[in-house]
Amino acid sequence: MTQPTTKARHGGARPGAGRPAKEPTYSQVEALKTADPVAWLTAAMIADELDLKLRLDAAKALASLQARMGKKQLAQQAAFDAVKGSPWEDLVQ
């Protein structure tokens, strides 16, 4: 009789085995509730409530994003940011 292969001798995944999953924690920072990625990264970078490592990661991601954007896109983004909260905001979409 031949020996079973190596994989056949091991049981594999079992239900309930392993470390229990943690509950996800969500930020309560109101400024992070935006759909704009640049605004979100900027708010995460400034938020004192977040861990320093998360803030540094947000700053790195924002710097990387801005390095990939051209001058025209940066000027357009600055114009959109300047209009936010003004009466002209509805006209610029």
Q: Is the confidence at residue 7, as pLDDT, over 60?
A: no
Tell me the pLDDT tens digit for each residue of 31-82. 778 888 888 888 888 888 888 999 999 999 988 888 887 888 888 888 888 8
At 84 the pLDDT is 80
Q: Which residues are CB-contacts of 27 (< 8 A; sequence separation ≥ 6)?
A: 47, 49, 50
pLDDT given for residue 93 in this prediction: 61
**Residue 46: which of 29, 65, 25 has the closest Cα?**
29
Global pTM value: 0.50
